[in-house]
A and B are shown apart, each in its own frame.
Chain A
Amino acid sequence: MSIEIRNVTKRFGEYAAVDGFSLEVASGSLTALLGPSGSGKSTLLRIVAGLETPDEGEVVLAGELATELAPQKRGVGFVFQHYAAFKHMTVRDNVAFGLKIRKRPKDEIAARVDELLKLVGLQAYGARYPAQLSGGQRQRMALARALAPEPKVLLLDEPFGALDARVRAELRDWLRRLHDEVHVTTVFVTHDQEEAMEVADRVAVLNEGRLEQVGTPVELYDTPTSEFVMRFVGDAHRLADRLVRPHDIALAREPSGRAVEVEVERITLLGADVRVDLVDGHGERLVARVPREELEELGLERGEILWAQPAAERVFVD
């Protein structure tokens, strides 16, 4: 099911959390809403779910206007950052909740719950209470619960934000695989650019309640349309009034073209690549990332003077 967000604005007092935001999400896609904290991404997701009402604009789900529809009538599954587990129910009852509300036959519910518990790897935990599960298990339970009524859209609000790094990485892979299996239109909110780039087909970058850019991870990384996006979806450094990615800096011993004189401050080996910390004549720091062979060819050492030149560059004119 497709999602259309049309010109949505949401104010909290004077402050506009979402400010004239529009986005179309294609049916069956996996989209990330990426932005720093306070960029309005969670508010936007809650508006799509019906948990917040926009002050202006429209939400269209599967071609039907849903702006005024109550959350329970939207057919969306929602996963909260802090799980929102029903603490007084067992894992089974949590997952079965949406089906019981829909008054499905008992045997059908049991079969569907079994299937979902297997999908999220919690078959052995059906009789436990949420308090007896780890954070990662609780979040998988919450996912199974959201998927149980076969929602047309799955919305996840910083779903891995409360988990430690290892579990996060695990669940990320798992969400990607799940989406390849289930194909439900999925939108998740994150402030972690790596997470967005790794998991999503398309990433929408938000800044101060507005859409900065939307595209595939490669498009955002290679052809950012603003300085904000360039800086947010990867490292970017200033080299003589230009923004460059660390691996787009070419280093040479001789001056040429628009090359800038820099001093090598530090050299760090990162496997196949080497990170070279540089300082230019104005004391501005930048980082270059070069393949190891290239560095060995140059025979670089700390304190040396080099000439840095952007191999690829972006100039953003506001």
Chain B
Amino acid sequence: MRRFAPRFVALGYLTVILLAPLAMVFWRTFEHGLSPFWHSLSSQETLHAFQVTLMITAIAVPLNTVFGVVVGLAIVRRRFPGKGLLNAFIDLPLALSPVVVGLSLFLLYGRTGWFGSWLTRHGVQMLFAWPSMALATIFVSVPFVAREVIPTLRELGDEQEQAASTLGASPWQTFWRITLPSIRWAVVYGVVLTTARCLGEYGAVAIVSGRIVGKTETATLLVQDSYERFDATGAYTVGLVLAAIAVVVLVIMTLTKPKESTA
């Protein structure tokens, strides 16, 4: 019996912390059958909110993927002054509350902010529009690819890359043919986590978006908004879809990831 104790504790903990709330959302969404769910899902408002979320995610994920791989390579393979500082800075978004991120962007890009005043004069609208929302989302999802890639690169070592160079490969060819294929699962994992973070971002975007319904409202903002308008079904529906995306992504990742984590 004793050897089962740890797994009961682990499962019990996960049930209370993770599964119960998810089950609750699921139950509430379909409490009155499928049609209210379908009705809120197909509403203009919901569709638009998901569109905004997906667009911002589609901007943030590729940028942070490229950034994460480049920074990972720089930190693991190169020596340069300020490397330790850079390594620490990558984690800043994890330590900083998204609300603070939103606030700082608000101050920076507001009409009187350092960048904001210049941009306003040149007719660029950052706040209450997608550019600042994308920026906020990029900020909060910076660490994930780099944090996955760095330990994998360390473990990989640089001998294979050196071997490739003695075999005639240029640094660019070595990157595409040796380095990237060797860290591909770390990159995939990082992309998945980044995507999840982008889809779920609330605090920073809430501040800079101005929450204009049908314009700058993302899926997570819509959940809060619906809830405040006593549209519980609407809130649950969007919440469920967000949760479902997360679960599906995790399942696909678990199924496709090879047994050896770095192979």
Please determine whether A72 and B165 come into contact, CB atoms closer than 8 angstroms: yes
Q: Which residue of B lies closest to A148 (CB)?
A: B167
Q: Which of B168, B169, B263 contacts A87 (CB 8 A)?
A: B263
Q: Which of B160, B163, B178, B263 has the most CB of A within 10 A?
A: B163
Give the size of the chain B interface in residues (CB under 8 angstroms): 17
Give min CB distance, A162 to chain B, whole Å: 12
Please determine whether A149 and B168 come into contact, CB atoms closer than 8 angstroms: yes
Which chain A residues border B182 with CB–CB below 8 Å?
Answer: 87-88
A51-B166, A88-B181, A146-B167 are contacts. A82–B160 as well, Cβ < 8 Å? Answer: no
Q: Is B159 an interface residue (CB 8 A)?
A: yes
Q: Which of B162, B169, B263 contacts A101 (CB 8 A)?
A: B169
For chain A, the bracket of interface size reads 20 to 34
Please determine whether A49 and B159 come into contact, CB atoms closer than 8 angstroms: no
Please determine whether B167 and A98 come into contact, CB atoms closer than 8 angstroms: yes
Give min CB distance, B177 to chain A, whole Å: 8
A80-B159, A80-B163, A88-B182 are contacts. A98–B168 as well, Cβ < 8 Å? Answer: yes
Q: Is A71 an interface residue (CB 8 A)?
A: yes
Please determine whether A72 and B169 come into contact, CB atoms closer than 8 angstroms: yes
Q: Is A282 an interface residue (CB 8 A)?
A: no
Give min CB distance, B154 to chain A, whole Å: 16
The distance in angstroms between the C-alpha atoms of A146 and B163, with both chains bound, is 9
Interface string of A140-164 (1 = CB under 8 A from B): 0010011011000000000000000
Q: Which of A78, A148, A149 contacts B162 (CB 8 A)?
A: A78
Which chain B residues border A145 with CB–CB below 8 Å?
Answer: 163, 167
Which chain B residues border A86 with CB–CB below 8 Å?
Answer: 160, 163-164, 178
Q: Which residue of A lies closest to B260 (CB)?
A: A131
The distance in angstroms between the C-alpha atoms of A78 and B164, with both chains bound, is 10
Q: Is A315 an interface residue (CB 8 A)?
A: no
Which chain A residues border B168 with CB–CB below 8 Å?
Answer: 72, 98, 101-102, 149
Q: Is B170 an interface residue (CB 8 A)?
A: yes
Please determine whether B263 and A88 come into contact, CB atoms closer than 8 angstroms: yes
Q: Is B51 an interface residue (CB 8 A)?
A: no
Please determine whether A84 and B165 come into contact, CB atoms closer than 8 angstroms: no
A86-B178, A87-B263 are contacts. A49–B166 as well, Cβ < 8 Å? Answer: yes
Majority secondary structure of chain B interface residues (helix, strand, loop or mixed): helix
Please determine whether A78 and B166 come into contact, CB atoms closer than 8 angstroms: yes
Q: Is B173 an interface residue (CB 8 A)?
A: yes
Give min CB distance, B182 to chain A, whole Å: 6
Q: Is A65 an interface residue (CB 8 A)?
A: no
Interface string of B19-57 (1 = CB under 8 A from A): 000000000000000000000000000000000000000
Please determine whether B160 and A149 come into contact, CB atoms closer than 8 angstroms: no
The distance in angstroms between the C-alpha atoms of A78 and B162, with both chains bound, is 9
Please determine whether A101 and B163 come into contact, CB atoms closer than 8 angstroms: no
Interface string of A120-144 (1 = CB under 8 A from B): 0000000000010000000000100
Q: Which residue of B lies closest to A76 (CB)?
A: B166
The distance in angstroms between the C-alpha atoms of A84 and B169, with both chains bound, is 15
Please determine whether B169 and A51 come into contact, CB atoms closer than 8 angstroms: no
Please determine whether A97 and B160 come into contact, CB atoms closer than 8 angstroms: no
Q: Which of B163, B164, B166, B173 has the most CB of A within 10 A?
A: B166
Interface string of B165-204 (1 = CB under 8 A from A): 1111110010001100110000000000000000000000
Please determine whether A51 and B167 come into contact, CB atoms closer than 8 angstroms: no
Interface string of A60-93 (1 = CB under 8 A from B): 0000000000111010111010101111100000
Q: Which residue of B lies closest to A129 (CB)?
A: B263
The distance in angstroms between the C-alpha atoms of A49 and B181, with both chains bound, is 25
Which chain B residues border A72 with CB–CB below 8 Å?
Answer: 165-170
Please determine whether A149 and B167 come into contact, CB atoms closer than 8 angstroms: yes
Q: Which residue of B lies closest to A49 (CB)?
A: B166
The distance in angstroms between the C-alpha atoms of A77 and B159, with both chains bound, is 14
Interface string of B244-263 (1 = CB under 8 A from A): 00000000000000000001
The distance in angstroms between the C-alpha atoms of A85 and B168, with both chains bound, is 16
Give the residues from 101 to 139 in chain B that come closer than 8 angstroms, CB to CB, to chain A.
Answer: none
Which chain A residues border B173 with CB–CB below 8 Å?
Answer: 101
Give min CB distance, B168 to chain A, whole Å: 5
Please determine whether B263 and A84 come into contact, CB atoms closer than 8 angstroms: no
Please determine whether B163 and A84 come into contact, CB atoms closer than 8 angstroms: yes
The distance in angstroms between the C-alpha atoms of A87 and B169, with both chains bound, is 17
Which chain A residues border B170 with CB–CB below 8 Å?
Answer: 72
Give min CB distance, B186 to chain A, whole Å: 13
The distance in angstroms between the C-alpha atoms of A67 and B134, with both chains bound, is 48
Give min CB distance, B262 to chain A, whole Å: 9
Give min CB distance, A112 to chain B, whole Å: 13
12 of the cross-chain contacts (CB-CB < 8 Å) are: A51-B165, A72-B166, A74-B166, A76-B166, A84-B159, A85-B160, A87-B160, A88-B181, A88-B182, A88-B263, A142-B163, A146-B167
New contact pairs (9) apart from A84-B160, A86-B164, A87-B160, CB-CB < 8 Å? A51-B165, A51-B166, A72-B168, A74-B166, A78-B162, A78-B166, A84-B162, A85-B160, A102-B168
